[in-house]
C-alpha cells in the first residue's frame, strides 16, 4: 500500500491507473478505523480495480464545543489495518493540504442538511458536503463507498452527487454492529463501562419501533413518542427519533412504504446515532 500526504502525489498515482484503464473505488474516513470501516474497504475492492482510502479529521464538520481536538487519531494502527485489508493507496493529508488559509467556498445541500443532526449541529453537513466534494475532485473515483450508519450523511452525499452531476456511483454498506447490537463507531471509545451496557438500547428502541410499524396497529407519532420516552427512561438524553421516508427524510405518512427510522441520543458525553431502513409492504 502506498501512503501519500499531498494532492499531487495522490493525483499522480490515480492518473496512472486511469490511463491504464483501471477503475477506482474510494472510501473517505476520519480514521480510528474499526471493523465497519474495513468492511467498506472490502466492498470497495469488489467494485473497482483499485481502492483508495483517505484519513482526514475534517475541522469544517465540527461545531463549537465539539470533539475535534479530542477525536481519536490512531494513524499508525490504521495504516497497519489497511495494509492487511489490501487498500492500494492511503491518502493522509494535513489540514493545510486540504484547506487554503483564505478558502471562501462552502458546498451546501440545503433542505436535508437542516433536519435532524443538521438541526442539532448547525453547519455540520456543509462541512461534510464540502470535504466530500473536494475529495471527489482529488480522487475522481468511479465508485465511492459509505456506511449506512449515518443515513442522513449518505442522503446528503447522494443528493450532492445528483445535483452536481458527478460521475460517481455511491454505494451504501450495511452497518456493522457489536455483538450487543451497538453500531460500531469511532466515538464508542468515549463510553464508560456502565454506558456500554446501556448504549445498545438505542438499537433496541429502533427494533421495537420497526416491529410496531410492521404490526400496523399504532400511528407513527405515538411510536416516536414511546421510543423517546423509553430512551429517556433508560438514561439517554434523546435528540430525535423519527419515522421518515428513506428517499428524502421527510416525515413518513401511513401510506409510505420505503421507510427509515432515525435516532440520535446523548449518553454521558457521547452522542450516538443509529437507524433501521426497511420496506413496509402494502
Which ranges in the chain belong to alpha helices (H)?
Answer: 7-19, 35-47, 75-85, 95-98, 110-113, 117-120, 124-139, 151-163, 193-198, 201-215, 220-233
DSSP state, residue 250: P
Reference 125, options 37, 40, 62, 57; nearest CA is 62
Q: CA–CA separation, 5 vs 19, rounded Å?
A: 22
Q: How far is CA 52 from CA 38, 127, 135, 166, in A?
A: 12, 21, 11, 18
Question: Any catalytic annotation for residue 37?
Answer: yes
Of the residues 34, 37, 124, 210, only one is catalytic, namely 37
Catalytic residues: 37
Amino acid at each position: 500500500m502506498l501512503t501519500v500526504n499531498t494532492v499531487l502525489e495522490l493525483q499522480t498515482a490515480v492518473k496512472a491507473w486511469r490511463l491504464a484503464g483501471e477503475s477506482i473505488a474510494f472510501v473517505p474516513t476520519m480514521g480510528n478505523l474499526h471493523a465497519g470501516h474495513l468492511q467498506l474497504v472490502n466492498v470497495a475492492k469488489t467494485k473497482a480495480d483499485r481502492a483508495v482510502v483517505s484519513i482526514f479529521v475534517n475541522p469544517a464538520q465540527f461545531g463549537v464545543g465539539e470533539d475535534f481536538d479530542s477525536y481519536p487519531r490512531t494513524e499508525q494502527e490504521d495504516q497497519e489495518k489497511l495494509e492487511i485489508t489490501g487498500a492500494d493507496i492511503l491518502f493522509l493529508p494535513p489540514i493545510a493540504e486540504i484547506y487554503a488559509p483564505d478558502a471562501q467556498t462552502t458546498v451546501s445541500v440545503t433542505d436535508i442538511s437542516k433536519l435532524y443532526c443538521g438541526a442539532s449541529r448547525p453547519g455540520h453537513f456543509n462541512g461534510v458536503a464540502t470535504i466530500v466534494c473536494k475529495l471527489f475532485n482529488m480522487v475522481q473515483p468511479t465508485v465511492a463507498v459509505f456506511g449506512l450508519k449515518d443515513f442522513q450523511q449518505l442522503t446528503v452525499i447522494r443528493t450532492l452527487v445528483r445535483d452536481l452531476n458527478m460521475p460517481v456511483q455511491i454505494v451504501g454498506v450495511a452497518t456493522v454492529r457489536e455483538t450487543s447490537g451497538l453500531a460500531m463507531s469511532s466515538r464508542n471509545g468515549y463510553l464508560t463501562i456502565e454506558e456500554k451496557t446501556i448504549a445498545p438500547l438505542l438499537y433496541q428502541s429502533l427494533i421495537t419501533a420497526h416491529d410496531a410499524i410492521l404490526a400496523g396497529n399504532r400511528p407513527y407519532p405515538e411510536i416516536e413518542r414511546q421510543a423517546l420516552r423509553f430512551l429517556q427512561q433508560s438514561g439517554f438524553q434523546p435528540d430525535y427519533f423519527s419515522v421518515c421516508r428513506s428517499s428524502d427524510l421527510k416525515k413518513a405518512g401511513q401510506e409510505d412504504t420505503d421507510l427509515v427510522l432515525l435516532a440520535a441520543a446523548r449518553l454521558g458525553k457521547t452522542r450516538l446515532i443509529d437507524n433501521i431502513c426497511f420496506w413496509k409492504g402494502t
